Amino acid sequence: MTDFPLSPEDCQTMPEVRAGVDALDAELVALLAKRFGYMRAAARIKPTRDAVRDEARKASVIAAAVAEAEAQGIPADVIADIWERLVEGSIAYEFGEWDRIRD
């Protein structure tokens, strides 16, 4: 029996590829859950609701992700789109948390 997931280079069949993708997706969701935990912390720490949206920080986060994508040789434009959505979703979540903990 083969241990999953195999590295992409070692995959020989689509079930092996899919097992790797599925395992990685689970890891990504776990990492995103941790990231959203930091958004909860930010909501708790920021003194004003106006402090939740920080356009300079947003631009910096997206630029760092794009630079990392370029260094890894993956499509930077795709990563920019994903991070735009991730950061906007994080901001929306943080607003919700900011409001929730101050009700």
Q: Say whether 57 counts as a known binding-site residue.
A: no
Q: How many helices (H) and strands (E) does the chain have?
A: 3, 0
Taking the CA atoms of 18, 23, 28 and 29 in sequence, report the sign of the dihedral they define: positive
Q: Say whether 18 counts as a known binding-site residue.
A: yes
What residue spans of the chain are helical by DSSP H?
A: 14-45, 55-72, 76-101
Q: Say whether 97 counts as a known binding-site residue.
A: no
Q: Say whether 53 counts as a known binding-site residue.
A: no
> For the chain, how are helix, strand and coil distributed in percent, rounded to 5?
80, 0, 20
Name the binding residues for substrate. 18, 35, 46, 94
Q: Show binding-site residues.
A: 18, 35, 46, 94
